[in-house]
Amino acid sequence: MSAGENWSPRSQAARALGWIDQRTGAVTPSIQPSSTFLRDSDNQFRSGYSYARDNNPTYDQAEALLCELEGGAAAMLFASGMAAAGAVFLNLRPGDHVLAPRVMYWGLRKWLMEFATPWGLQVDLVEMGDLAAIAAAVRPGQTRLIWLETPANPLWGISDIAAIAKLAHAAGALVAVDSTVATPVLCQPLNLGADIVMHSATKYLNGHSDMVAGALITARKDDFWQGLADIRHDGGAILGAFEAWLLLRGMRTLYPRVEVACRNALAVAQHFEGHGEVAQVLYPGLPSAPDHALAARQMRGGFGGMLSLRLKGGERHAVAAAAKVKLWSRATSLGGVESLIEHRASIEGPGTPVPADLLRLSCGIEAAEDLISDLETALRSA
């Protein structure tokens, strides 16, 4: 193996750190499916590998690349984004207090309310765009973690990572950021003071909607990191070797995919802002967005491939329009090369903070003009 030490992150990603298999000279990373590894004759494991829960050589390159892209000290792959996020909360103790966003990936909010709360965590949901509200909700000495998601599903509000990290650290709390939507291409939360970055690697990192994975990248390899490693090892929520390999392959095209998705999202947002059928476009890249200045400061190179449209015709028009698209796929998830559209309130169910008139759009890498004309036709004919 040899790594390119002075390469830019874009080159590191494209070349998967430039590791070359020393035995074969293979340029493309290889996959190691073995679940178990030989002991040395003196009973040691000098190879560093013993058993593939969670000690798999196929993880190494993907985890090293994630560390490089996020500027972290260590990275860990998980079986899903939920398994990665869950490990962070399970690494706390019953009785600990955590803050999480009122508007966030709904699956994690549901898990926090229906599993983590009965398990013993005290969870307060707050507006993560409101520093005064966060400061008021923090309990010094008892709040152990502030969980952020920025941009946050599916209203795409932005949280000020640096300011929240300062506030959290003063109170003795850690900050973890779900950076799935921003990706390391657009934002590096650890460089802004966060302690942990989480990704649903199912999304942009893999980028092809053909596997499910999660990742944590930490600023330090400390006791908290060891706790996460123990949860992964002992709980067994590990990624398969093939999925780890697919993830590494996907990350090699992360930069160009994210750049095209950002351009497409901006083009769609600009086209539909002020449109006769559209009440509001939610996209932090629009200068009219309330969080635009913060997003411009905290993100670089774009504002992400995700946006939402609120329709003047309400829920019925939103559901009907989603049924009429041809190029967009009517499906959940995000971050793939194909564009997806979803009536979000339907999937989140009762109690969701998501307006019923909202369509969530994940822009892929198709031609922007095709995406726009397909949406125009769907809105008109619905």
Residues forming the active site: 53, 105, 178, 203
Q: Which of 180, 280, 298, 308: binder of ligand PLP (CB under 6 A)?
A: 180
- Residue 265 near ligand PLP by CB under 6 A: no
Which stretch, 9-17, 101-109, 223-231, 336-344, contacts ligand PLP (CB under 6 A)? Answer: 101-109
Extract the tokens encoding 74: 């260590």
- Residue 80 near ligand PLP by CB under 6 A: yes
- Residue 107 near ligand PLP by CB under 6 A: yes
- Residue 150 near ligand PLP by CB under 6 A: no
DSSP conformation letters of 88-106: HHHTS-TT-EEEEESSS-H
Order of strands across the sheet that contains 174-178: 74-78, 214-218, 196-200, 174-178, 143-149, 97-101, 122-126
Q: Which of 178, 195, 342, 374: binder of ligand PLP (CB under 6 A)?
A: 178
- Residue 204 near ligand PLP by CB under 6 A: no
CB of 332 to ligand PLP, least distance (A): 7
CB of 112 to ligand PLP, least distance (A): 12
Q: Which of 150, 200, 218, 298: binder of ligand PLP (CB under 6 A)?
A: 200
Alpha carbon distance 228, 234 (integer Å): 10
Alpha carbon distance 321, 279 (integer Å): 14
Amino acid at position 295, single letter: A
In 10 A of CB 33, how many CB atoms? 11
Alpha carbon distance 370, 327 (integer Å): 8
Alpha carbon distance 148, 222 (integer Å): 21
CB of 333 to ligand PLP, least distance (A): 6
Q: Which of 29, 57, 81, 101: binder of ligand PLP (CB under 6 A)?
A: 81
Binding footprint of ligand PLP, residue count (CB under 6 A): 17
- Residue 212 near ligand PLP by CB under 6 A: yes
- Residue 298 near ligand PLP by CB under 6 A: no
What percent helix, strand, coil does the chain show, rounded to 5?
A: 40, 15, 45
Nearer to ligand PLP, 216 or 268 (CB): 216
Which stretch, 66-74, 176-184, 239-247, 285-293, contacts ligand PLP (CB under 6 A)? Answer: 176-184
CB of 214 to ligand PLP, least distance (A): 5
CB of 152 to ligand PLP, least distance (A): 8
- Residue 105 near ligand PLP by CB under 6 A: yes
Task: Confirm if 278 and 272 have CB atoms less than 8 A apart.
Answer: yes
Task: Confirm if 207 and 195 have CB atoms less than 8 A apart.
Answer: no
CA angle 107/210/342 to nearest 5° reads 45
Which stretch, 110-118, 173-181, 265-273, 369-377, contacts ligand PLP (CB under 6 A)? Answer: 173-181
Nearer to ligand PLP, 65 or 306 (CB): 306
For the chain, how many residues are written? 382
Please compute Rg for the chain using Cα positions: 21
Alpha carbon distance 70, 186 (integer Å): 10
Burial of 32 (0-12, 13-18, 19+ CB in 10 A): middle
Residues lying near ligand PLP in the complex (CB under 6 A): 80-82, 105, 107-108, 149, 153, 178, 180-181, 200, 202, 212, 214, 333-334
